[in-house]
Structure 1
Amino acid sequence: MVTIKDVAREAGVSVATVSRALNDNGYVGVDTRKKVMAAIEKLNYSPNEVARSLYKRKSRLIGLLLPDITNPFFPQLARGVEDELSRAGFRLLLGNSDENVEKEMEYIQTFVQNNVTGIISATNHLDDQIYNELKLPLVLLDRISEDYPAVYSDGREGGRLAARTLIEKGAKRITLMKGPAHVRPAQDRFQGAIEELSHADIDFSVLSTTSYSFEEALGWAKELFEQFPDTDGVIASNDIVGIAIIHEALKIGKQIPEDVQIIGYDDIPQSGLSYPTLSTIRQPAYDMGRQAAQLLIKLIKKEQHIECKIQMPVELVERNTTRKK
């Protein structure tokens, strides 16, 4: 690994001179600066961003905290954040909390210790003291709060759209999978679906779930058909659960979509690869990530008249787990 000492040796100057040239701190002659830059280019030297930020008290680092990077939805958010930050000259530090509040707090402390200049978080623990004490710009992503800037999709409309679609396609005994109670977007989707189902001339049931994890999805799917064997329409809590329901339905001999129709939520890449392919409600995950990064940059720059609550639209993606009209 090339160090600042290697650059100094190559340029024939002191380490202090290289440091002044990199940080624009103090006088460095034109010819000397050219030597330093030529040495940096020749050796392909990359300054330690954390060390530079500590020295200059000005960072180009952003912390991103996600709840579960094994869920394909969240890497799409992260990619949108990273692409936008990179375009603006920032670098990303990523934390994965696993929905564990202690782990989340440790990552927040790590971000602060590494002198990040702002944080983007998909947290469910805003009531923790550490957030109240943050002296950094904070943007919520895929989460909603009255107290912080946020970028999120229209979950309530997403729930209504899923329910409306199954009703219009002839489902009469619908099971609504209620997402984790501690996740605000999940409850928004649930409330939207309930609003639509309550006004329709159909039977519907609710199955509560406590996570979106791969590990538990097959268990939810099995429980669904054990409790509601005659269900002919399912609004899954997300695409992971929706794909698990496809597997379980086929396993017990149900035809899709003839016997049971299924709608997921998120439109992760795997929803188009399942068999049959999963109809779903699409959240614009990549664009949400980009919007969150843009909003954070505006806050860092202290721009005026910033729109601090950005709600993104959702849309139905029809595939093969719903009937054609």
Structure 2
Amino acid sequence: MSGTTPARAATIVDVARAAGVSRQTVTRAVHDMAGISPATRARVLAAARDLNYHPSRFGRGLVKPAARTLGLLVGDLTNPYYAELASTVLRLAADRGWNVVMAEPGSADGLAGGADAVVAFTGLPLDPPSPAAPNLPVVEIDPPRTRPGHGRVEFERDRATGEAVRHLLERGARRPVVLDREGSTSRGRAFVAAFRAQGVEPVVAGRESGWEDLRRHAPDAVVAFNDLDGFRLLRDLARAGVAVPGEVRVVGVDGLGVGEYVTPRLSTLAIDLAEVARSALDLVAELSERRVEDPVRVVAHRFLAREST
């Protein structure tokens, strides 16, 4: 019936409670490991059957390291933002002895049969997991919407957004433009709200707007949708002979490392991708053992003021 809540899948804790044993004993029984008696094994397996318990493949990997394979779904790798995060996940996963298989967005079902867990960072809603892998641990990074049972690493931008807006206003900006996707996004709405809180009404323009599109607004500050769009805008302004930051100040979002090497260096809302990756991998391990009640971690952006403002 529409609107009903699906029954919660049985966990290792449920089986341990029903069989009167520890979680470690359940792990040994369901994976046919040594160290328990035949009678205990039979009791645990009977409880698992009664509860329709399906052990997590990643949970088995935590006991047998050679079996651990992490599926990594990443957005457009031509965008350095996704590439930097993927590289960080690969490095930190290797430190933990985990193998990593990468796939494109929309490929979660393809990973379900060969991966023990999935981390997704695509900027898109994740397809439902395959019914063949009901206990597959899934962690989404900055997801556009939440899915029950999935872990999430959420980004907190409000504080850094407020700092960036105050920084621009302190330097004389009064005609800001915020570049955003059609229909607006959370980051765009956050910048608009922060400007309004300071008594300034920004213009909202399409993400792809170039300087020729923007000059009619006579902006003295532009917040780009991300760093790549900020780099493009800096190029357009240089070609048009517009001084940055003298005439127009520019802020990006993402904190790409390459921002250190453009001229002028781009001010941006940056995030610690190592902390993001570490939080995602920690959640994968916790979800695999069913030992997390609130599978959410929050990583905050910080404002980096550079020469573009």
Same fold (TM over 0.5): yes
Which residue of 1 is the match for residue 21 of structure 2? none
Assess, with a 3 A threshold, how the Cα gap between structure 1 residues 289 and 127 changes in structure 2: closer, same or farther. closer
Assess, with a 3 A threshold, how the Cα gap between structure 1 residues 277 and 266 changes in structure 2: closer, same or farther. same
Paired residues for 1:254-273 under 5 Å: 254-273=242-261
CA deviation after TM superposition for structure 1 residue 278, in Å = 0.5
- d(CA) in 2 for partners of 1:316, 1:248: 24
1:76 correspondence with 2:67? no
Which residue of 1 is the match for residue 271 of structure 2? 283
1:235 correspondence with 2:243? no
Q: What count of residue pairs does the alignment treat as equivalent?
A: 246
Contact 2:109–2:130 (CA under 8 A) maintained in structure 1: no
CA deviation after TM superposition for structure 1 residue 110, in Å = 2.3
Q: 1:194 aligns with which of 182, 187, 192?
A: 192
1:225 correspondence with 2:214? yes
Assess, with a 3 A threshold, how the Cα gap between structure 1 residues 125 and 241 changes in structure 2: closer, same or farther. closer
Could you tell me which amino acid in structure 2 is paired with residue 193 of structure 1?
F
1:155 correspondence with 2:154? no
SS of match in other structure, 1:277: coil
| Alignment deviations for residues 61-117 of structure 1 (CA, whole Å, 9 cap, x no partner) | 1111011111111122112322222222211011133xxxxxx2xx2232123x211
- d(CA) in 2 for partners of 1:201, 1:25: 66
Instruction: Using structure 2 for the length normalisation, give the TM-score.
Output: 0.71
- d(CA) in 2 for partners of 1:202, 1:131: 48
Which residue of 1 is the match for residue 97 of structure 2? 89
Gaps of 5+ in 1: 1-23, 27-52, 98-103, 210-218
CA deviation after TM superposition for structure 1 residue 120, in Å = 0.5
Contact 1:174–1:233 (CA under 8 A) maintained in structure 2: yes
Which is helix-richer, 1 or 2? 1
Which residue of 2 is the match for residue 111 of structure 1? 111
Which residue of 2 is the match for residue 139 of structure 1? 139
Which residue of 1 is the match for residue 120 of structure 2? 121
| Alignment deviations for residues 97-149 of structure 1 (CA, whole Å, 9 cap, x no partner) | 3xxxxxx2xx2232123x21100112455374446875211000122526321
Gaps of 5+ in 2: 1-31, 35-60
- d(CA) in 2 for partners of 1:283, 1:180: 24
CA deviation after TM superposition for structure 1 residue 227, in Å = 4.4
Identity of aligned residues (%): 21
Which residue of 2 is the match for residue 251 of structure 1? 239
Contact 1:221–1:241 (CA under 8 A) maintained in structure 2: no
CA deviation after TM superposition for structure 1 residue 162, in Å = 2.7
Contact 2:151–2:287 (CA under 8 A) maintained in structure 1: no
Could you tell me which amino acid in structure 1 is paired with residue 251 of structure 2?
I
SS of match in other structure, 2:67: coil
